[in-house]
Amino acid sequence: MRYFHVDAFAQTPFTGNPAGVCPLETFPPAALMQRIAAENSLAETAFIVPRASAPAEYDIRWFTPAVEIDLCGHATLASAHVLFTHLGFSEAQVTFHSQSGPLRVAREANGRLTLDFPSRPPQELTSHPTGLADGLRATPLHVLAARDLLVVFNTEAEVLALRPDYARIAALEYVGVIATAPGSNGIDFVSRFFAPRVGVPEDPVTGSAHSTLIPYWAQKLGKTELRARQISPRGGDLWCRLRGDRVDIGGYAVTYAAGALLVENQ
């Protein structure tokens, strides 16, 4: 089984968010894909299969080490990078069909890849979920929710200082917790993402979280084009745009390793 390890939202190895990518002719059983993702021990491993009726379209599925998920940005970016860089894909845009609908990735002239993802604007909660403050070991200024919880702080320093209690965060009824604050020096907003509930204590750079972050900060700042930075220990930069009910999430990717997994696709 062909296998690529790609650092997404990165321009040099050892930064951004590492993803596994397995290009296949057909999907193996879900149990095998889950075991491969657990063995890879990356935030997500993506499995992609071409659609015979549409040469520029693929089906995609994503697995964390613990579960299959419905939307993943960095592993989608990594999958497009593999197609464009290693597998001779010559179109300017590829479409991935997923649990969250069609997701397009365009190759820009400067080498950057841009994800076309659904916008998932958050709604402010009237009360904080039980256990949130204890889980964060901090009290946010605002708490909103979409698929994930969005917790807003006053400063980047507060987000950087977070040392969550992962067991308490995992007990919350959300996929993950996005912590965010205004940025500085040309960065509109910063974030971190914690998802121990699905086997990812802290995700280095989270494309799917920006489906919620972009509409929030676009409304807050009164602008539709934004620069973002995820301030995890590895870190990563994102170029963002709000387009109605869709968002553009741009970033670079670099291949760290390419080879084969010695497992049977059956």
State the catalytic residues.
44
The DSSP H or E segment spanning 222 is none
Residue spans of alpha helices (H) in 87-209: 132-136, 156-160, 166-170
DSSP strand pairing (68-69 vs 101-107): unpaired
Of 20, 15, 13, 17, nearest to 82 by C-alpha is 20
The span from the CA of 165 to the CA of 133, in Å, is: 10
Of 68, 80, 26, nearest to 44 by C-alpha is 68
Contacts of 40 (CB under 8 A, 6+ apart): 20, 65
Which residue has 């379209």 as its token pair? Answer: 57
The span from the CA of 145 to the CA of 247, in Å, is: 18
Which residue has 């973002």 as its token pair? Answer: 228
